[in-house]
Chains A and B, each alone.
Chain A
Amino acid sequence: MLSIKNLHASIEGTPILRGINLEVKAGEVHAIMGPNGSGKSTLASVLAGREEYEVTEGEVIFKGKNLLDLAPEDRAREGVFLAFQYPVEIPGVSSTNFLRTAVNQVREYRGQEPLDAVKFLTMMKEKMKLVEIDQKLLSRSLNEGFSGGEKKRNEIFQMAMLEPTLSILDETDSGLDIDALRIVSNGVNQLKSDKTATIVVTHYQRLLDYIVPDFVHVLYKGRIVKSGTKELAMELEEKGYDWIKEAVDSEATV
């Protein structure tokens, strides 16, 4: 589904990603872990098309298309979804109008009929249950005055509505209490299928107790320096990132 080859990206001339290689197949869950500043969030942002980052080398093929050639909205319409680390508050834009426009633009791109108001509301009600989100929240402006947990739940709710094939969760767990974490993870797990894939970007292993990964990759200094299965995450939880850093840094000095 997703094939990242030798991806290099920089921001304002400073290289952040220095050669990422990653293959993600349908049905898989990949966790990207790593210390602060290793480039995890950058990778998520580059995949979603954030403009500040400049891709200097490499390619990203998503379902046979060169993802890097597409505008952010077209990536979303192709089925890439980024759950933001910091969802943006947008006063004056109603959650419902926003979502209906988004859903219908995505549907139009995919050659589907737009949803009328009734069908849209039915779909909304159904998906709201997934993340236990309150109707009252959605009658407000987008994310405005939402708590941290509410914002993250709203991200997963949007994900449910847009039915992506590749979901990228950028530190969705950070700042969540255990109940919110459980709700968010539940939502993600219910949306998984053998046709979709998930990339979970996280600093902590805790989330992976709930969303169990097939593969775990450790990102450090803009490269994947170690890959393994969920046991690797347990090891990181126990030993921290220092042993990996040391191994990589000593190799570099040799």
Chain B
Amino acid sequence: MSTLIKQDLFEGLLESAHSGFEDARNEAKSSYLAQGLPGAKAEEYKFTGITKKLEQTFQQLSPAQSFEVSAETVKSAIFEGFSGDILVFTNGKFQPSLSSIIDGLEVSLLSEKPETAIGSIAKPGKDAFCALNQASFENGIFISVPKKAQIEKPILLLFFNKENSGAVIQPRVWIEVGDFAEVTFIDQSINLSESPYFINKVVEIKGALNSHVHYYRLQNEGKNAFEVSNIETDIQKDSKFNSVTISLSGEMVRNNLSLNLLGSNSEGNMYGLYLLNGKAHVDNHTNVDHTIPHAESNELYKGILDDQSRGVFNGKIFVRQDAQKTNAFQQNNNILLSEDATVNTKPQLEIWADDVKCSHGCTTGQLDEEALFYLQARGIGKDQARGFLLYAFAGEVLEHIEEESFRTYCTELVQQRLGSKL
């Protein structure tokens, strides 16, 4: 019975009429109703009690309304040094009039592409929030990078959020990248309101033969943000997927990032950095599925946690029986700066093939006092010495952002936060 009460939270969402993708929506709705929202005992949400948190914060969650942003607001939100295309979303809904789209990239509303196989990558059965999004999203976006296209400048996905009445913001993004194409996305949210809001985001990425996709993400929306995201990628033979997720704040954030390696010689790299303070809570659940031989995956997630913040890392790696000669590496390292900060970290490897190289490791510790003293003994003030060491720790993730302007921007944000500005 308890699940019924919980589902009331999203009743308005499921009841309202949605256009297009009727079959996919119906399938997702049944899946959602069958799963129910993750309760206190849900293993996958053991450390991230998002359902309870949402119930405590919101009475009812209704679909978010789109709103207008001025060109100035958009302009001021773009980080310094950025040069490239911008796709603007308000409360999750794509706003073509505010976006700039270059030739060679196909962008439209998902509703204009009814043949899109939504839910075929991020399957609704895996996660109730993913199902909820599929059942009730509005104005999703369809992005297609044609064969052999080399999109040199990054594409900025700018999500403006403004909510005053407890609504659900449900971005839905479908990206397909053609054979031999290369593209970089930067996914950033901007908060324009003071009250709490809930984002339930789904991004599906389909990388074709020998394609390269970079997906960078910055989460820095402050303590009003509750967020669950499901970002899932399928990549084919000889293709590459790189992601870097930087999380600097969030009341409760859950990132489900999944990668399916479907063709040999494919490579996936997932990096993450979470710098948390106050009561921020960020949970990164990653999932890498090696289904074929000769593929490689690397994962490095690092966290620095202060005050009463909480970090969760759960890294699943499946190596299926056919996936011989797999290389899969995973690492999660954390520094706790306060007695009250918490990290829950769990590597989860399931290996069915016998000729593979897999490793994983996790560490949680304090700042290295000996290193701190060494720097101080050379005349460097304690705060700066501390910043130096923390930045050195964090830098190992930042260096994987290949897009220079975004790397510089994130580096500055991180240095400011850590007080390590040189």
Contact = CB atoms under 8 A, between A and B. Distances in A.
B382 A73 contact: yes
Contacts of A82: 377
Interface string B365-406: 000111101111111111011001101110110000000000
Interface of B is mostly: helix
B5 interface: no
B371 A102 contact: no
Interface string B153-190: 00000000000000000000000000000000000000
A73 B422 contact: no
A105 B374 contact: no
B379 A105 contact: yes
Contact of A109 (B371, B379, B392): B379
Interface of A is mostly: helix
Given A90-B371, A90-B389, A97-B422, A49 B377 contact: yes
Contact of A71 (B376, B389, B395): B376
Contact of B392 (A50, A92, A105, A158): A92
Tier of interface size on chain B: 20 to 34
A77 interface: yes
B392 A90 contact: yes
A134 B279 CA distance: 47
B367 to A, nearest CB: 12
A20 interface: no
A145 to B, nearest CB: 15
Nearest to A45: B373
Given A88-B374, A90-B389, A105 B396 contact: no
A76 B376 contact: yes
A98 B375 CA distance: 8
A48 interface: yes
A101 B384 contact: yes
Contact of B376 (A72, A90, A92, A141): A72
A105 to B, nearest CB: 5
A103 B396 CA distance: 25
A175 interface: no
Given A72-B373, A88-B371, A90-B374, A162 B388 contact: no
Contacts of A92: 391-393, 395-396
Interface in A36-88: 48-51, 71-73, 75-77, 81-82, 84, 87-88
Contacts of A72: 373, 376-377, 382
Contact of B388 (A49, A50, A75, A93): A93
A87 B380 contact: no
A91 interface: yes
Contacts of B395: 92
A75 B373 CA distance: 12
B392 A73 contact: no
Nearest to B399: A92
Nearest to A48: B377
B382 A71 contact: yes
A102 B388 CA distance: 12
Contact of A51 (B373, B375, B388): B373
- Determine which residue in B369, B370, B380, B393 has the highest number of CB atoms from chain A within 10 A of its CB, and name it: B380
A106 interface: yes
- Determine which residue in A50, A73, A103, A162 has the highest number of CB atoms from chain B within 10 A of its CB, and name it: A73
Contacts of A99: 378
Contact of B389 (A76, A77, A87, A93): A93
Interface string A156-187: 00100010000000000000000000000000
Nearest to A84: B374
A158 B378 contact: yes
Contacts of B378: 76, 98-99, 102, 158, 162
B381 A105 contact: yes
Nearest to B391: A92
A71 B372 CA distance: 12
19 contacts: A49-B377, A50-B373, A51-B369, A51-B373, A72-B377, A72-B382, A73-B381, A73-B382, A76-B376, A76-B377, A77-B379, A88-B370, A88-B371, A88-B374, A92-B392, A92-B396, A93-B392, A98-B375, A101-B422
> A-B pairs with the 6 shortest C-beta distances?
A92-B392, A76-B379, A72-B376, A106-B379, A102-B378, A88-B374
Interface of B: 368-371, 373-382, 384-385, 388-389, 391-393, 395-396, 422
Interface of A: 48-51, 71-73, 75-77, 81-82, 84, 87-88, 90-93, 97-99, 101-103, 105-106, 109, 141, 158, 162
Given A71-B376, A105-B384, 15 more contacts: A49-B377, A72-B376, A73-B377, A88-B368, A88-B374, A90-B371, A90-B374, A92-B393, A93-B388, A93-B392, A98-B375, A98-B388, A101-B422, A105-B380, A141-B392
